[in-house]
């Protein structure tokens, strides 16, 4: 591979890693920060894409449409977390219920299973008109970096605020949080909503980048997000809020890079989901198997 | 006359509190049976009793973990009977037997303390740990003598059980709650650390004149600490002694008092097997 091709591959993976990185950040927020196994992802990702696409087709400013995607995702997260906290439906089930329900909602929003965006004004087509950003790879990367920087700084600040602290503590020790006078239902609702907002934002941006929305484009997104989070943790062993956030983004980058390499090596696109599942299985199994080899005591299998 | 005075400064009142677990099943347990308790402002009460006497249930009811079946709890005249746990936490600080319950492992010492500092206050979008608060945290940690004041950015998960329990105690008292609940908070610590945490408990409770209810299994400890001693049995308070009454008692006197009050022989020999082997007496 010549250096230019390597550069193209890396910057393309970086762009992909950043836009899917919002999804990874959302998954990191629920699974790791809140210890809330939220499976709404597959639905809220498409919800964001559908809302952004429909609004853009209707001629709405693409930045507003992207923000609306984020807002729609917040609503999806609200639904899941309310099912869990107010109706006491287990988190896993609440997420699956909302995810399934969202499939119908997404179809309703789009009006048909597939919606092209090719000649519409998107955040990417707007960026491509700026001087120096004419090349597809460059403007895609610039938009992704700008969005990622904004999201990173907001999250990095938020998770250190008084409310953000309560949110992090909720996933760490719920009893302690209630003991400090905080309603853990509220922190859960807030956290799951923000996470799904990020996931839908990811969907909205991806839809604009690839130029279409498909009602099935969310399948396996939760596993992709998990893969990114796990890879990030394994590679960067992060400590502290900022590094954990960067690790999620970095994990998404590495994951997309691996997929791009697999495609270049001649793997059929349809097989990528299996590869993703295999990555997550290996990443989860390796620490366990290491302990087995060292004959350490092991707790029983967790139920979620 | 005395009764009238204590009525006046009564801070927390429990009136005919009953709590039944697994009601209507074969496992039905009457954990609290029409308990009446007046806790005066500044009281430092040691609660003893055998397993299943209702000690922890009493603390849980006060802390709002679950509501009582019957009865009424008032704090400063305000009815708090059905207030849930996180609302009760605005005026109740609590330290648990298990050091893991009181602190969050994946957060730093200063982040844990910031969580505790804001008890009873609205939480906003200010950054939680600022310079001024760090000074406050250091000042609160220094008396422990554990050096935690220089490790504000250490993850709590890396601390030992004793360090975490000491931190949990400082956190429970940081916002000066109206009532401090200690649920066998030194039971799992090694003797030296237990003594440090116990000394610190006495120091904070005395300095802040904090109204405290301390549950313990240890009769000796209950006699030596606090200004009032309550003994529970089968969901009832069977002994309630003030400072003067308990001043010269021995563990043996306490056992006799228990048997007289409950009409039963004292069977929990875990508190009797090693009456001299009490933290802070022979070990130090």
Question: Are B104 and A182 an interchain contact pair (Cβ–Cβ within 8 Å)?
Answer: no
Contacts of A162 (CB under 8 A, 6+ apart): B114, B118, B123, B124, B125, B126, B127, B128
CA B57 to chain A, closest CA, distance in angstroms equals: 16
What value does the mean pLDDT take over residues A139-168?
95
Whether A154 contacts chain B with CB within 8 A: no
Give residue B178's domain range. Answer: 2-271
CA A278 to chain B, closest CA, distance in angstroms equals: 29
Total domains, chain B: 1
How much is the pLDDT for B274?
A: 44
Given a cut of 80, whether residue B284 has pLDDT beyond it is no
Instruction: Give per-residue pLDDT as tens, A193-240.
Output: 999 999 999 999 999 999 999 999 999 999 999 999 999 998 888 888
CA B84 to chain A, closest CA, distance in angstroms equals: 9
Residues A263/A255, Cβ–Cβ less than 8 Å: no
How much is the pLDDT for A299?
A: 79
How much is the pLDDT for B23?
A: 86
What value does the mean pLDDT take over residues B257-264?
77
Q: Is residue B283 part of a domain?
A: no
Q: Is residue B162 part of a domain?
A: yes
Q: Is residue B101 part of a domain?
A: yes
End-to-end CA distance of chain B: 43
Give the pair of three-digit tokens for residue A153.
Answer: 């700084």
Query: Closest Cα partner for A49 from A128, A110, A136, A100?
Result: A110
Share of residues in chain A with pLDDT > 70 (%):
99
Share of residues in chain A with pLDDT > 90 (%):
77
**A181 chain-B contacts, CB cut-off 8 A:** 86-87, 89-90, 118-120
pTM (predicted TM-score): 0.89
Give the pair of three-digit tokens for residue A98.
Answer: 């909302």
Question: Are B90 and A169 an interchain contact pair (Cβ–Cβ within 8 Å)?
Answer: no
Q: What is the band of B50 on the pLDDT scale with cuts at 50, 70, 90?
A: confident
Question: Are B90 and A183 an interchain contact pair (Cβ–Cβ within 8 Å)?
Answer: no
Q: Is residue B99 part of a domain?
A: yes
Mutate one of B84, B100, B106 to test the A interface: name it (highest A CB count within 10 A).
B106
Residues A127/A65, Cβ–Cβ less than 8 Å: no
Given a cut of 90, whether residue A112 has pLDDT beyond it is yes
What value does the mean pLDDT take over residues A77-92?
97
Given a cut of 90, whether residue B245 has pLDDT beyond it is no
**A157 chain-B contacts, CB cut-off 8 A:** 127
* DSSP state, residue B269: G
Name the residue among A180, A183, A184 with its Cβ closest to that of B116: A180
How much is the pLDDT for B34?
A: 92
Whether B185 contacts chain A with CB within 8 A: no
Domain harbouring B248, CATH code: 3.40.50.300
Q: Is residue B281 part of a domain?
A: no
Whether B106 contacts chain A with CB within 8 A: yes
Whether B170 contacts chain A with CB within 8 A: no
How much is the pLDDT for A197?
A: 98
Given a cut of 80, whether residue B283 has pLDDT beyond it is no
Instruction: Give per-residue pLDDT as tens, B157-191.
Output: 999 988 999 999 999 999 999 999 999 999 888 88
Residues A259/A231, Cβ–Cβ less than 8 Å: no
Query: In terms of C-beta distances under 8 Å and separation of at least 24 residues, what long-range contacts does B207-211 make, across chains too?
Result: B208/B173, B208/B176, B209/B41, B209/B42, B210/B42, B210/B44, B210/B173, B210/B176, B210/B177, B210/B179, B210/B180, B211/B11, B211/B12, B211/B39, B211/B40, B211/B41, B211/B42, B211/B43, B211/B44, B211/B178, B211/B179, B211/B180
How much is the pLDDT for A1?
A: 67
Q: What is the band of B277 on the pLDDT scale with cuts at 50, 70, 90?
A: very low
Chain B residues 189-248 with a CB less than 8 Å from chain A? none
Instruction: Give per-residue pLDDT as tens, A232-278.
Output: 998 888 888 999 999 999 999 999 999 999 899 999 988 988 888 98
Q: What is the band of A137 on the pLDDT scale with cuts at 50, 70, 90?
A: confident
Given a cut of 80, whether residue B282 has pLDDT beyond it is no
**A33 chain-B contacts, CB cut-off 8 A:** none
Given a cut of 60, whether residue A186 has pLDDT beyond it is yes
Given a cut of 60, whether residue B11 has pLDDT beyond it is yes
How much is the pLDDT for A49?
A: 98
Question: Are A184 and B128 an interchain contact pair (Cβ–Cβ within 8 Å)?
Answer: no
Whether B104 contacts chain A with CB within 8 A: yes
């Amino acid at each position: 591979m010549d250096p230019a091709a390597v550069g193209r591959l890396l910057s393309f993976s970086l762009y992909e890693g950043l836009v899917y990185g919002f999804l990874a950040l959302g998954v990191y927020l629920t699974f790791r920060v809140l210890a809330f196994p939220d499976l709404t992802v597959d639905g809220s990702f498409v919800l964001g894409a559908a809302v952004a696409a429909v609004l853009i087709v209707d001629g709405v400013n693409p930045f507003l449409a992207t923000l609306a995607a984020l807002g729609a995702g917040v609503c999806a997260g609200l639904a899941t977390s309310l099912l869990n906290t107010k109706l006491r439906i287990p988190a896993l089930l609440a997420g699956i219920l909302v995810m399934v329900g969202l499939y119908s909602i997404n179809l309703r929003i789009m009006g048909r299973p597939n919606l092209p965006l090719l000649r519409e004004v998107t955040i990417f087509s707007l960026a491509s008109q700026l001087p120096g950003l004419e090349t597809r790879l460059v403007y895609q990367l610039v938009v992704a970096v700008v969005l990622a920087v904004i999201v990173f700084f907001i999250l990095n600040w938020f998770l250190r605020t008084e409310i953000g602290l309560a949110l992090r503590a909720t996933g760490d020790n719920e009893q302690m949080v209630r003991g400090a006078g905080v309603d853990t239902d509220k922190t859960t609702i807030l956290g799951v909503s923000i996470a799904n907002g990020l996931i839908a934002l990811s969907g909205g941006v991806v839809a604009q980048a690839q130029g279409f929305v498909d009602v099935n484009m969310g399948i396996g997104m939760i596993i992709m997000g998990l893969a990114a989070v796990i890879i990030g943790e394994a590679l960067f062993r992060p400590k502290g809020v900022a590094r954990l956030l960067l690790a999620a983004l970095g994990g998404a980058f590495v994951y997309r890079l691996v997929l791009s390499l697999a495609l270049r090596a001649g793997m059929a696109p349809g097989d990528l989901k299996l590869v993703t599942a295999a990555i997550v299985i290996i990443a989860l199994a390796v620490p366990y198997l290491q302990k087995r080899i060292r004959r350490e005591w092991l707790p029983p299998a967790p139920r979620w | 006359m005395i009764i009238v005075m204590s009525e006046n400064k009564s801070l927390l009142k429990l009136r005919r509190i009953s709590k039944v677990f697994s009601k209507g099943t074969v496992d039905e347990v009457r954990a609290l049976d029409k308990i009446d308790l007046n806790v005066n402002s500044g009281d430092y009460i040691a609660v003893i009793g055998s397993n299943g006497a209702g000690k922890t249930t009493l603390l849980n009811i006060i802390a709002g973990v679950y509501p009582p079946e019957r009865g009424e709890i008032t704090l400063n005249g305000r009815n708090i009977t059905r207030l849930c746990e996180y609302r009760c936490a605005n005026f109740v600080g609590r330290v648990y037997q298990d050091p893991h319950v009181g602190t969050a492992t994946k957060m730093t010492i200063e982040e844990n303390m910031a969580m505790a500092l804001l008890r009873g206050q609205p939480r906003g979008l200010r950054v939680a740990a600022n310079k001024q608060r760090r000074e406050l945290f250091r000042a609160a940690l220094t008396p422990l003598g554990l050096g935690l004041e220089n490790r504000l950015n250490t993850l709590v998960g890396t601390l030992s059980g004793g360090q975490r329990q000491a931190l949990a105690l400082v956190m429970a008292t940081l916002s000066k709650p109206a009532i401090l609940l200690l649920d066998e908070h030194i039971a799992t610590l090694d003797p030296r650390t237990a003594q440090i945490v116990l000394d610190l408990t006495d120091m904070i409770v005395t300095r802040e004149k904090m109204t405290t209810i301390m549950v313990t299994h240890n009769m000796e400890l209950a006699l030596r600490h606090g200004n009032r001693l309550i003994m529970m049995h089968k969901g009832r308070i069977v002994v309630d002694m003030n400072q003067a009454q308990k001043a010269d008692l021995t563990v043996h006197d306490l056992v006799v008092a228990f048997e007289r009050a409950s009409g039963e022989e004292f069977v929990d020999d875990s508190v009797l097997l090693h009456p001299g082997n009490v933290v802070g007496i022979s070990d130090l």
